[in-house]
Amino acid sequence: MRRRVIEGGEELKSEKRLSVAKIVAVIGLLLLLAVSVGCNRTKKYSLQGEVVSKNQEISEITVKHGDIPGFMPAMAMPYRVKDPGIVQELQPGDKIAAEVILGKDSSDYWLEDIRITDESGRGHVKASAAPRMLMPGKRVPDVALINQNGSTIHLSDFAGKALLVTFIYTRCPMPNFCPRLSSQFARIHNELKKDPEDYTKTHLLTISFDPKYDTPAVLLKYGLAYLDGDQSGFSHWDFASTNPGDLARVAQAFGLQYEEEDNQISHNMSIVLIAPDGTVTKFWSTDWTWTELTENMRKAAHPNAQRGGTR
């Protein structure tokens, strides 16, 4: 009888251990789900402003708006709109209210719940024509640039390499625009540096659209901040500016829009990949990742590998 009691007690203890294990497993699963939901959570910010221009080809509108607390100060800047029908309906001069949705990171944002609050401004604002961007396969203009060392360089100097170009101005106060571009280019630079063949067959170029302020000395200091103080990095990544005329040519070719107002420059985001033969391969605006850009550079730099050959 005593043995049965002991055995029964052991069975009871075993059942309790199983119950505790199940509870722990359920709690762990709930915690995992909570973390997953937290990681995928989006943020919303209210926006009120005026439509300045629109680009139906890329489903984007530029809005001049007031302060958006926690997101950005008052300025004019482009926003993606996921519904092309809304972009078609909106007109320059429209006053709107909308929600800015911030996704997985500071670069992933767009407008939702757009309401036109006042249409009386239509026709009073001259619509800005979208830049006549070069189509893939077209040769890029070979403009002269002055880099961080004060040396004159041309886009043709990088023939034989996959060249990734973007535009910034060093005074940009928006962390999700110019500083983000430069920090992501730094990640691309460091990743390509791991493979000597990738490094020698690629190049990065950051062009300022604020040539009055962004002198070679300013660009040198700015570039070193993203190269961890290593000047040898300039052999793979140039920071440059050019004269207003050539800047306008490049901006038109690469889809860059910029406008100075109140000592700030409102602008869109433009990244272009130029093939080793000097022709346009691909464009990006706001929807991209540094890994995507890196992979496309590698493919452009090693076309034979892309077609199934070996490097």
**Which one is predicted more confidently, 25 or 181?**
181
In tens, the pLDDT along 43-69 reads: 888 999 999 888 888 888 888 887 788
Angle at 300 between CA 297 and CA 303, to 5 degrees: 140
Contacts of 204 (CB under 8 A, 6+ apart): 163, 164, 185, 188, 189, 236, 237, 238
Phi then psi dihedrals of residue 72, to 5 deg: -165, 160
In tens, the pLDDT along 253-276 reads: 887 777 776 667 777 778 999 999
Residue 183's pLDDT is what? 94
What residue ranges define each of the domains in the chain, with the CATH number in brackets?
43-118 (2.40.50.320), 144-306 (3.40.30.10)
Residue 26's pLDDT is what? 45
The conformation of residue 129, written as its DSSP 8-state character, comes to P
Q: What is the pTM of this model?
A: 0.66
Distance (Å, rounded) from C-alpha 97 to C-alpha 139?
Answer: 41
- Give the pLDDT band (50/70/90) at residue 19: low
